[in-house]
């Protein structure tokens, strides 16, 4: 990956398949035309077994399919994906493995809506989670955090074009690498998980950003991807905080501008940016391990 460019993959607000123009009226009864996000059903098959139907914008169906299977523990690191077949007209994606997996009989057909609570947690997923505890010494500098927030929030996106969408970003240091959006935040997470799985991207030195709430499932999916730092502009749930502390995950929420709140894994934060510096340049004050 080139260090000269910010994003390897990023939203394409100019993709006409992802939005449509709709007429309406505003508060003054004036006629207006605005962009709205297009959502479509996508049915996922694992080999010959129908797994689930998701509502999605369908911009990266292959990554979404693989990431969903990875984050539901239906694809394991030892499984070999030999083909991914997507039919846009049929709205179907098929993930094929070299041998039948152990998980194809676990899931009865479910339809996921585009709402925020669309994820599904299985008992075996929680059992796996209970054995995970991050011991990585990766740090996150406040100067890098503020740079990331600025780069992500000013990048062209469907959110800025049409709204009604969530975004997730895989980052390294002060650089956003992969930026995915979808009508459900879990879809955006799964797209990144699928990209990482197929491209064999290591996770122990990465940072994950989401526009969504820091819920239990968001924490679980981040831990499933072995990413030690999770950041959001939104708030927390109590169970999300409890699980993050259990896994030693750094959990940073309400991150906007140069403000944030960390409720887990504060020892990874290096305070190297002086908020009194109006020039915007970080001053090396190095308060490693300071508490919030």
Q: How confident is the model over 120-166, as pLDDT tens digits?
A: 445 566 666 777 788 778 999 999 999 999 999 999 999 888 888 99
User: Which residues of the chain form beta strands (DSSP E)?
Assistant: 19-25, 31-37, 40-46, 49-56, 81-87, 92-97, 110-111, 140-141, 166-172, 175-182, 207-210, 229-232, 250-256, 259-264, 269-270
Domain with residue 212: its CATH number is: 3.40.140.10
Query: 168 and 254 in contact (C-beta within 8 Å)?
Result: no
| Nearest C-alpha neighbor of 273 from the set 253, 263, 258, 262 | 258
Q: Is residue 225 a part of any domain in this protein?
A: yes
Q: Is residue 32 a part of any domain in this protein?
A: no
Q: Is residue 168 a part of any domain in this protein?
A: yes
Angle subtended at Cα 267 by Cα 224 and Cα 237, rounded to the nearest 5 degrees: 50
Q: Please report the pLDDT score of residue 290 as a whole number.
A: 40
Q: Is residue 81 a part of any domain in this protein?
A: no
Q: Is residue 186 a part of any domain in this protein?
A: yes
Which residues, listed in sequence order, are joined to residue 42 by a DSSP beta bridge?
A: 54
Query: 255 and 149 in contact (C-beta within 8 Å)?
Result: yes
Contacts 24+ apart (CB under 8 A), 253-257: 253/214, 255/145, 255/149, 255/231, 256/149, 257/146, 257/149
Q: Is residue 120 a part of any domain in this protein?
A: no
Question: Which domain does 223 fall in, by range?
Answer: 140-270
Q: Is residue 245 a part of any domain in this protein?
A: yes
Count of structural domains within the chain: 1
Q: Please report the pLDDT score of residue 4 as a whole number.
A: 42
Q: How confident is the model at residue 89 (pLDDT cuts 50, 70, 90)?
A: very high
Query: 196 and 203 in contact (C-beta within 8 Å)?
Result: yes
Q: Is residue 146 a part of any domain in this protein?
A: yes
Q: Please report the pLDDT score of residue 283 as a whole number.
A: 40
């Amino acid at each position: 990956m080139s260090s000269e460019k910010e994003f390897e993959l990023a939203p394409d607000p100019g993709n006409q398949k992802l939005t449509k123009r709709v007429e309406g009226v505003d508060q003054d009864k004036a006629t207006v035309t605005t962009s709205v996000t297009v959502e479509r059903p996508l049915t996922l098959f694992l080999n010959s077994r129908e797994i689930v139907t998701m509502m999605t914008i369908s911009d990266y169906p292959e990554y979404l399919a693989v990431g969903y299977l990875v984050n539901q523990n239906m694809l394991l690191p030892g499984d070999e994906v030999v083909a991914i077949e997507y039919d846009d007209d049929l709205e179907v994606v098929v993930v094929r493995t070299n041998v039948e997996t152990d998980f194809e009989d676990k899931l009865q057909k479910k339809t996921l809506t585009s709402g925020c609570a669309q994820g599904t947690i299985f008992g075996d997923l929680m059992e796996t989670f209970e054995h995970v505890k991050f011991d990585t010494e990766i740090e996150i500098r406040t100067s890098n955090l503020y740079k990331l927030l600025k780069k992500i929030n000013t990048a062209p996106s469907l959110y800025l074009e049409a709204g009604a969408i969530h975004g997730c970003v895989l980052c390294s240091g002060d650089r956003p690498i992969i930026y995915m959006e979808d009508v459900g935040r879990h879809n955006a997470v799964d797209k990144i998980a699928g990209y990482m799985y197929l491209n064999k991207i290591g996770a122990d030195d990465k940072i994950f950003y989401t526009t969504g709430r820091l819920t239990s499932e968001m924490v679980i999916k981040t831990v499933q991807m072995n990413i030690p730092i999770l950041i959001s502009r939104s708030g927390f749930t109590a169970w999300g905080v409890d699980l993050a502390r259990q896994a030693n995950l750094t959990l940073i929420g309400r991150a906007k501008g140069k403000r944030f709140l960390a409720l887990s894994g504060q020892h990874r934060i290096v305070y190297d940016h002086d908020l009194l510096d109006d020039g915007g340049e970080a001053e090396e004050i190095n308060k490693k391990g300071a508490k919030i």
